[in-house]
């Protein structure tokens, strides 16, 4: 029985899918058929009623959507609804001209109702109302909606590079995953396609308004000619009969067209928020009691002027004043509630000190000023907590171990917009962020200037500006990378995590990492730690790798190398050098992806010989030589970066550790590789030299 039920369920789902696939073609065929096949009056009533219902549904859907992409089918709906109205105009024109002499209901009850009831049977009034509707639809709504769609399409296309850069920046910073980045890129493409389609679809609506006006003129002239010439009707009777039918036909088509045009204007003129249009109107028009009081005062002044409709004006003044009083009471109650929540608890007797009062230092900490509290408060929809979780996850995937949880607390001693990042209780980063504003970062290739508070990107030191939301689109068009305050803090934290990865790797993290490896190769871990290498030595080796931006994800290779060489070598630095050679392909790939020739910095042979002698004599460099070496290394790094090449110095294996310790103290961006670490299938090209002329 269950199997039979499941079979019927699958057949029903398959049938529903086929019906959905056939809905579009069937609808088009029906619309085109109405232009060719004659329809009886009752069928016209059904289709006209359906057209009115469809227009109301489209308007309501556009009102309740929160962003344009929620109604991505709207351009296609515009096309189908326009074709439907034109087909109905053709079908009704055929009936009006053929059977209009029989009376007002010759073309159906709906047209008769619009011709008789809505305009009182007065064809002159009907003509005026119809022309007014056409002017409103054509000159105001469709023209404005078309212009907004046109500008929206242009600005969306112009801002795509900046938005793409923002997505790539979030992905590289670990704030979002690959799936989120792919989804945001897809939404960006859909948004550009939507506005482009709306720009074209708005032309359907304008053309529909013009077609309605021309059809009315044709119906009037054709009706008079047929009524007088073929049916022998008097001119006055023919004019009245065909004019009422024509005006009724025009109104029954133009009113849905006006509703659809309004829906198009609502859709393209909305601003993306988490509210629909109705919620935006209520929350932004009726939220300030001072506005209500001032409006009530103006209405009162107008109401007391002699000759004005005093009752109506004073009635609205009273309503606005009452609304302002109610809003004032609501604001006072909310303020009192916030004060009660912040009020200190009743003074109690101070208990004796205990070990519970001892607070250990957090490995990672984030202290924020009071204006940044909404960023970390989930009740206020703060996004920073989620971004920090993403940063930790991306760091674990890239580097190879999970950093400690970031403990967040407010610090009233900080300035309101300042935040401080600490490592083991010591400050490692400090900057400012402004909730509600955007940081426009200059990547070096912007095409225009923007207005804002000049600052620096706290993570990478790039020139940047804090800007208002109104300038966000312009900044993206000019090529700035625009991010919000939460992203700024999260990116800064991510940068500092990578910079201090070696300090965060403690014994507990190393043990957890080894336990993770043991799940797959338990015997390897047991043979190496602690039989051959103590846990502290493994920790020191991993810290040495992290200090030079080498990920420790390949723990299998690291343990294999230690298992082979630890019996002959116990020094952690020497073992680190051996491990680096084993990880050489991964290290090289990190800085030079692919298989293209590697453009690197080299040492002048005589300088290399002098450094080798200094290493053999104990590793101490003369002050003059050290100063010259540092200056020339900085110049070589600058030349490499000007060519968009990574600042990588390749030296003899024996010199690598000495130069890495010496040069990276001052030049953080310089990477020192050993010739032994570079795979045999990779070729080198020296594009900058230390100690020579180039």
Each residue's pLDDT tens digit, 402-435: 998 899 888 888 898 999 999 998 999 999 999 9
Question: What is the model's pLDDT at position 346?
Answer: 46
User: Across residues 57-75, what is the average pLDDT?
Assistant: 76
Does residue 242 share a domain with residue 106? yes
Boundary residue ending a domain (501, 533, 551):
501
Does residue 588 share a domain with residue 474? no
Q: In the structure, what pLDDT confidence band is assigned to residue 542 with cuts at 50, 70 and 90?
A: very high
Question: What is the model's pLDDT at position 1?
Answer: 45
Total domain count, the chain: 5
Q: How many CA atoms lie within 13 A of 323 on its CB side?
A: 19
d(CA 203, CA 264): 11
Average pLDDT of the chain to the nearest whole number: 79
Is residue 545 scored above 90 in pLDDT? yes
Q: In the structure, what pLDDT confidence band is assigned to residue 665 with cuts at 50, 70 and 90?
A: confident
Q: Is the dihedral of CA 409, 413, 414, 420 positive or negative?
A: negative
32 falls within a domain: no
User: Across residues 572-577, what is the average pLDDT?
Assistant: 92
User: Across residues 248-270, what is the average pLDDT?
Assistant: 73
- Residue 87's contacts (CB-CB under 8 Å, 6 or more residues apart) are 31, 32, 34, 35
Is residue 323 scored above 80 in pLDDT? yes
Kindly report the number of other CB atoms within 10 A of residue 664's CB atom. 16
- Domain range for 565 is 505-582
Question: What is the model's pLDDT at position 151?
Answer: 65
CA 524 to chain centre: 46
Question: What is the model's pLDDT at position 598?
Answer: 92
pTM, two decimal places = 0.58
Q: Is 322 left (phi over 0), alpha (psi -120 to 50) or beta?
A: alpha
Question: What is the model's pLDDT at position 345?
Answer: 47
DSSP string, 217-284: HHHHHHHHHHHHHTT---HHHHHHHHHHHHHHHHHHHHHHHHHHHHHHHHHHH---SSS-HHHHHHHH
d(CA 44, CA 418): 68
Q: In the structure, what pLDDT confidence band is assigned to residue 115 with cuts at 50, 70 and 90?
A: low
Question: What is the model's pLDDT at position 326?
Answer: 86
d(CA 536, CA 515): 15
Is residue 104 scored above 70 in pLDDT? no
590 falls within a domain: yes
Percent of the chain residues past pLDDT 90, beyond the cut: 21
Percent of the chain residues past pLDDT 70, beyond the cut: 78
Backbone angles phi, psi at 257, to 5 degrees: -65, -40
Does residue 240 share a domain with residue 101? yes
599 falls within a domain: yes
Give the CA distances from residue 9 to residues 2, 13, 14, 267, in Å, rounded to whole numbers and listed in that order: 10, 6, 9, 38
Is residue 15 scored above 80 in pLDDT? no
Asked which of 182-196, 317-331, 342-356, 499-513 is least confident by mean pLDDT, the reply is: 342-356
User: How confident is the model over 452-481, as pLDDT tens digits?
Assistant: 999 999 998 899 999 998 888 889 888 899
Cβ atoms 393, 174 nearer than 8 A: yes
Closest CA to 450 of 422, 423, 431, 478: 478
Question: What is the model's pLDDT at position 108?
Answer: 65
Does residue 602 share a domain with residue 566? no
Question: What is the model's pLDDT at position 9?
Answer: 55
Is residue 506 scored above 70 in pLDDT? yes
**More confident: 35 or 19:** 35
**More confident: 408 or 147:** 408
Boundary residue ending a domain (251, 274, 297):
274
Question: What is the model's pLDDT at position 6?
Answer: 54
Residue 461 is part of a domain; what is its CATH number? Answer: 3.40.30.60
Question: What is the model's pLDDT at position 562?
Answer: 92
Closest CA to 488 of 446, 548, 436, 423: 436
Does residue 118 share a domain with residue 239? yes
Cβ atoms 490, 178 nearer than 8 A: no
User: Across residues 258-270, what is the average pLDDT?
Assistant: 73
340 falls within a domain: no
Query: In the 8-state DSSP scheme, what is residue 357?
Result: G
127 falls within a domain: yes
Cβ atoms 636, 690 nearer than 8 A: yes
Cβ atoms 421, 496 nearer than 8 A: yes
Element housing 603 (H / E): strand 598-603
21 falls within a domain: no
The SS3 call for residue 422 is strand
User: How confident is the model over 353-395, as pLDDT tens digits?
Assistant: 777 767 778 889 999 988 888 888 777 777 888 888 889 999 9
Boundary residue ending a domain (582, 617, 636):
582
Q: In the structure, what pLDDT confidence band is assigned to residue 184 with cuts at 50, 70 and 90?
A: confident
Strand-by-strand arrangement of the 438-441 sheet: 453-456, 463-467, 438-441, 481-484
Closest CA to 688 of 606, 614, 598: 598
Residue for token pair 């290399």: 608
User: How confident is the model over 679-690, as pLDDT tens digits?
Assistant: 988 898 988 888
Cβ atoms 649, 678 nearer than 8 A: no
Does residue 575 share a domain with residue 595? no
First to last CA, the chain: 84
Asked which of 106-120, 423-437, 618-632 is least confident by mean pLDDT, the reply is: 106-120
Q: Which range has the top average pLDDT, 58-67, 300-309, 497-506?
A: 497-506
Does residue 267 share a domain with residue 366? no
d(CA 457, CA 441): 7
User: How confident is the model over 591-601, as pLDDT tens digits?
Assistant: 998 888 999 99
Q: In the structure, what pLDDT confidence band is assigned to residue 146 with cuts at 50, 70 and 90?
A: low
Element housing 527 (H / E): helix 522-528
Is residue 333 scored above 90 in pLDDT? no
164 falls within a domain: no
């Amino acid at each position: 029985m269950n199997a039979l039920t499941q079979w019927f369920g699958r057949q029903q789902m398959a049938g529903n899918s086929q019906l959905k696939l056939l809905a579009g073609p069937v609808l088009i065929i029906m619309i085109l058929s109405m232009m060719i096949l004659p329809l009886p009056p009752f069928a016209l009533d059904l289709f006209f009623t359906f057209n009115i219902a469809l227009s109301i549904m489209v308007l309501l859907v556009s009102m309740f959507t929160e962003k344009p992409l929620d109604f991505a089918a709207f351009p296609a709906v515009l096309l189908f609804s326009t074709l439907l109205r034109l087909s109905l105009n053709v079908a009704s024109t055929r009936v009006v001209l053929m059977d209009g002499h029989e009376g007002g209901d010759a073309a159906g009850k709906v047209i008769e109702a619009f011709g008789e009831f809505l305009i009182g049977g007065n064809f002159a009034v009907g003509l005026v109302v119809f022309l007014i509707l056409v002017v409103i639809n054509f000159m105001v709504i469709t023209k404005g909606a078309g212009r907004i769609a046109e500008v929206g399409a242009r600005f969306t296309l112009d801002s795509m590079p900046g938005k793409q850069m923002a997505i790539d920046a979030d992905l590289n910073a670990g704030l979002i995953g690959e799936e989120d980045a792919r989804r945001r890129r897809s939404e960006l493409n859909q948004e550009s396609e939507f506005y482009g389609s709306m720009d074209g679809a708005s032309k359907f609506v304008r053309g529909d308004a013009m077609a309605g006006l021309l059809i009315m003129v044709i119906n009037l002239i054709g009706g008079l000619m047929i009524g007088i010439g073929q049916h022998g009707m008097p001119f006055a009777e023919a004019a009245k009969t065909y004019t009422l039918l024509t005006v009724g036909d025009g109104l029954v088509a133009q009113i849905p067209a006006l509703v659809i045009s309004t829906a198009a204007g609502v859709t393209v003129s909305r601003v993306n928020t988490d509210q629909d249009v109705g919620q935006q109107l209520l929350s932004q028009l009726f939220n300030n009691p001072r506005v209500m009081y001032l409006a009530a005062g103006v209405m009162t002044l107008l109401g007391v002027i002699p000759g004005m409709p005093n009752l109506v004006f004073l009635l609205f003044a009273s309503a606005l004043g009452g609304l302002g009083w109610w809003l004032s009471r609501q604001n006072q109650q909310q303020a009192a509630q916030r004060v009660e929540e912040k009020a200190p608890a009743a003074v109690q007797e101070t208990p004796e000190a205990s070990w519970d009062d001892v607070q250990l230092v957090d490995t990672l900490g984030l202290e924020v000023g009071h204006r940044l509290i909404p960023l970390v408060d989930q009740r206020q929809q703060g996004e920073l907590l989620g971004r920090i979780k993403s940063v930790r996850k991306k760091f674990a995937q890239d580097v190879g171990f999970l950093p400690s949880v970031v403990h967040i607390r407010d610090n009233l001693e900080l300035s309101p917009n300042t935040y401080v990042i600490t490592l083991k209780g010591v400050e490692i980063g400090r900057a400012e962020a402004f909730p509600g504003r955007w940081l426009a970062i200059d990547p070096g290739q912007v095409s225009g200037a923007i207005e804002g508070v000049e600052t620096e990107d706290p993570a990478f030191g790039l020139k940047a500006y804090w800007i208002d939301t109104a300038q966000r689109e312009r900044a993206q068009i000019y090529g700035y990378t625009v991010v919000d305050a939460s992203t700024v803090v999260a990116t800064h934290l991510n940068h500092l995590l990578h910079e201090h990865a070696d300090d965060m790797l403690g014994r507990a993290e190393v043990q957890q990492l080894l336990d993770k490896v043991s799940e797959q190769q338990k015997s390897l871990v047991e043979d190496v730690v602690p039989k051959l290498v103590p846990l502290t030595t493994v920790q020191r080796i991993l810290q040495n790798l992290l200090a030079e931006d080498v990920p420790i994800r390949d723990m299998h290779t690291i343990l294999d190398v230690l298992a082979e060489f630890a019996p002959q070598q116990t020094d952690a630095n020497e073992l680190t050098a051996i491990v680096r050679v084993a990880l050489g392909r991964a290290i090289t790939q990190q800085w030079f992806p692919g298989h293209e020739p590697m453009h690197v910095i080299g040492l002048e042979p005589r300088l290399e010989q002098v450094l080798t002698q200094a290493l053999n004599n104990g590793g101490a460099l003369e002050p003059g030589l050290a100063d010259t070496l540092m200056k020339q290394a900085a110049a070589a790094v600058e030349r490499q970066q000007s060519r968009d090449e990574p600042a990588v110095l390749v030296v003899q294996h024996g010199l690598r550790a000495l130069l890495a310790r010496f040069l990276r103290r001052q030049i953080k961006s310089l990477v020192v590789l050993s010739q032994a670490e570079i795979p045999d299938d990779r070729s080198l090209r020296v594009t900058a030299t230390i100690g020579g002329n180039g």
